[in-house]
A and B are shown apart, each in its own frame.
Chain A
Amino acid sequence: MNKKSRWSFLSNGYLLLILLFIYLPIAYIVLFSFNDGKSMTKFAGFSLRWYEAMFKDRTMLESIRTTVVVAVIATAVSTVVGTITAIGLSKARPLIRTAILEINNLPVMNPDIVTAIGMMLLFIVPGVSLSMTTLILAHITFCIPYVILTIMPKLRQLDDNVAEAALDLGANPWQALIKVILPQIYPAILSGALIAFSMSFDDFVISFFTAGVGVSNISMYVYSMKRYNPSVNALSTLIVVVVTLILVLTNLIPVIKDKRTKKEEQRL
């Protein structure tokens, strides 16, 4: 082996090790979701019994439902509010913009647990009892900053002249927004929504402190499990499959679109 190929052999080997490390627990979950036994250390043979068990486990199904409902509402609200705010901020004076963005950054920078107890105090002190509603409000609050942070850079990249060109050609500011600005930042809005959804879907700490009695999402369910429950592996495996599909699709669609337009152009 010459020096160069030995080098790439080494580096590829190292990267492979890293990937193995990162995918080890995921592979472990998937494997043991098909375990016939109850153990988390011994594989007793292939079976689908934990998938069956999962669909019979009421509390678990309820936590899945809660997770999805909260994530969908939080994503919808935070995407709309975040987009509107980001556009407004991009036209604001720099001083005001920086001030608002600094406060906006607080939930991102602050440890989750601080945000969480802050929200809890906010609700309980004036006598609002924790519930599904407080959970959703908390989720919206920590999702909006991520939406804004995703959209702002894209807005900044926009050529100011493009919006001006729309005004120049007779569009009023509202028409310029709908016809020119939104279509250009559309991908950023989508990825902002995706991040918001996954933040909400995966959240544990903030939910733990702001959900009412009897309201529990997947993370809280796993955390509060008294005994080891292999159905969690089955659930995790399903989540892994869904996440992988979504990621592959979101990464492939632009590539496919690109190819198609290129083909169309060649035909022209």
Chain B
Amino acid sequence: MRKLIEFRNIVKSFDGQVVLKGVNLNINENEFVTLLGPSGCGKTTLLRILGGFLEQDEGTVIFDGQCIDKVPPYKREINTVFQKYALFPHMNVYENIAFGLRIKKMGNDIIQQKVNRMLSLVNLEGYGKRNVTQLSGGQQQRVAIARALVNEPNVLLLDEPLGALDLKLRKEMQRELKRIQQEVGITFIFVTHDQEEALTMSDKIVVMNAGEIEQIGTPLEIYNEPVNAYVARFIGESNIVTGIVKSEDCVRIDDRDYETREYRFKEGEPVDVLIRPEDFDIVKPKDGILRGVVKSAVFKGVHYELMVETKTGVSKTVKMNVVTQHDMQNTATGEKISANDFYVDSDDLENKEMTDQDFISIANAQAWDDNDRDISLTRVTHNIEKKPGVYQITFATDKKTEITVKVYVVHPEYVEDPRHNIGISALDFFITPDEIKESMAISTDLKTWASAEAWNLQDDSPVEITDVNFDFDPATVTEGSYDITFATQGREYKVETTQRLEEGDKVGLSFGPDDLHLMRKAVHEI
């Protein structure tokens, strides 16, 4: 195959923001090349530079052995299918397609021949006289392709041409585009952010990220041997875990060693390890390399997509004291008020400025009148100190309806897990059965009531608490003491299987050395 286009060290920035950071890329004759990446990665900019609509700041574009940096778009043997088609709204289908030929001052009979041939190539025979604004998205798309191809360019540029179409039409046009490319036998350069589109149509995929090319390869190469976690995540579903290379054919993940068949890495090198969801086999727990519990199972048509937790996260259990508290009533005004005793952590008192509003929400204090209208609490008085002990706090309304509850100031109790670098804390709390019954999102409310928090031990950034476990029925809960466990995410794997499994099933996961793909740690993460 002959090299047709060569980008040499292309740099481009807009308003000081670098969009392309020195891109080098070769494109051969008759190739279907896809530039793939998320929006803002620079793929469209690269395409527009090739089309002649943008000028690069640095670097050179070579086309068919010649530098075309100074060639205006209308003199380039390249045509473009624009994102929103950019059809000429004041011309009908025929005139749109004939535009380029009329500019070249071809004879009417030749134009007619060529346009008709194009119309049949894109399956739009008989649509010549239609107004382009009244065509469907797919039809406009075909006109745009025909309008570009009729000029017999060496290269066709397609800028996310399928983005505006619905799923079914998009699939149809994917096949159609591939057919047209094979039929006319010219180079197609296709820009998309849709990995599936890239995989189905391309001869060559160029994965871009933040102005740079991450990987160039055939669809199979890109899927099976992504160079880093970025590419792996972008193409297909993936499980990526970090590991350390122990020896030529062994990698350590989560304190266990696994056999691999990749020999490219040095001993002691940290790597990302990719396991595709379809590469797992579901086996009996005792036969599995990994054992876990099914956390969720979603039916996807042909297969189930499971999330299997093989290791729990960091957890903390607290006591929920369910007590019935009596509303205080102010007989003079008809107002009622309620609040709960509560626990508060001495560190919080020390480090955070706890406002009256904070106390009102922790105590779940509220007041209302005969008509059930909310009344604001305007006065909060307390004798809380920063050292552990039992104190009192009084909430009151303007009309002096008030309630006093106990405040237990306690030393903070953290659970810290240095291996995961995660700390978690939560406090015992008091609550009434009614409040539990009224809760619309019980897990979220439990987190609030218990002031449950988890964080990264290194940088103090918050970590999500994904699991809230309890064994009472919120609808029928009665007075008493209950255990609530809060936990962060453990190790979870996405698994594709045709077996039917349900949440809570215990399974074993099995895979072979070929299923582990080791990748160099990506320098930049998204």
Contact = CB atoms under 8 A, between A and B. Distances in A.
Q: In their complex, do chains A and B touch, with some C-beta pair under 8 Å?
A: yes
Interface of A: 159, 161-162, 164-172, 175, 179-180, 183-184, 261, 265, 268
21 contacts: A162-B88, A162-B89, A164-B82, A165-B80, A165-B82, A165-B87, A165-B147, A166-B99, A168-B52, A168-B73, A168-B148, A169-B74, A169-B79, A169-B99, A169-B100, A169-B147, A169-B148, A170-B74, A171-B103, A172-B74, A175-B103
Interface residues of B, number: 29
A184 B90 CA distance: 7
Contacts of B99: 166, 169, 171, 179
Contacts of A164: 51, 53, 73, 80, 82, 86
Interface string B120-131: 000000000111
Nearest to B79: A168
Contacts of B72: 167, 172
Nearest to A169: B100
Contacts of A172: 72, 74
B84 A161 contact: yes
Contacts of B147: 165, 169
Interface of B: 51-53, 72-75, 78-80, 82-84, 86-90, 99-100, 103-104, 129-131, 134, 147-148, 151
Contacts of A165: 80, 82, 86-88, 147
Contacts of B90: 183-184
Contacts of B88: 162, 165-166, 180
Nearest to B99: A169
B78, B84, B87, B90 interface centre (most CB from chain A within 10 Å): B90
Contacts of B104: 170
B73 A167 contact: yes
A98 B35 CA distance: 36
Contacts of B73: 164, 167-168
B74 A171 contact: yes
Nearest to B73: A167
B346 to A, nearest CB: 57
B74 A167 contact: yes
A9 B169 CA distance: 50
Contacts of B83: 161
A191 to B, nearest CB: 17
Nearest to A159: B86
Contacts of B87: 162, 165
B227 to A, nearest CB: 34
B73, B87, B100 interface centre (most CB from chain A within 10 Å): B73
Contacts of B151: 169-170
A167 B52 CA distance: 9
Q: Which 3 A-B pairs have the closest CB atoms?
A: A161-B86, A169-B100, A165-B86
Contacts of B74: 167-172
Nearest to A186: B90
Nearest to B78: A168
Nearest to A165: B86
Contacts of A171: 74, 99, 103
A168 B134 CA distance: 24
A164 B74 CA distance: 9
A180 to B, nearest CB: 6
Nearest to A175: B103
Contact of B131 (A161, A166, A175, A261): A261
Contact of A268 (B79, B130, B148): B130
A43 to B, nearest CB: 53
A161 B100 contact: no
Contacts of A179: 99
Contacts of A166: 88, 99
B326 to A, nearest CB: 47
A260 to B, nearest CB: 12
A171 B53 CA distance: 14
A67 B129 CA distance: 45
Given A161-B84, A169-B103, A265-B131, A184 B51 contact: no
A86 B100 CA distance: 27
Given A161-B86, A162-B87, A165-B88, 10 more contacts: A162-B86, A162-B88, A164-B86, A167-B73, A168-B73, A169-B100, A169-B103, A170-B103, A183-B90, A184-B89
A169 to B, nearest CB: 4
Nearest to B157: A168
A184 B72 CA distance: 23
Contacts of A162: 86-89
A177 to B, nearest CB: 13
A190 to B, nearest CB: 14
A168, A261, A265 interface centre (most CB from chain B within 10 Å): A168
B70 to A, nearest CB: 15
A179 B99 CA distance: 9
A161, A166, A170 interface centre (most CB from chain B within 10 Å): A170
Contacts of B130: 265, 268
A161, A175, A184 interface centre (most CB from chain B within 10 Å): A161
A170 B100 contact: yes
Contacts of A180: 88
B207 to A, nearest CB: 26
A164 B99 CA distance: 13
Nearest to B51: A168
A164 B48 CA distance: 10
Contacts of A183: 90
B80, B84, B104, B148 interface centre (most CB from chain A within 10 Å): B80
A166 B79 CA distance: 10
A184 to B, nearest CB: 6
B249 to A, nearest CB: 53
Nearest to A264: B129
A265 B134 contact: yes
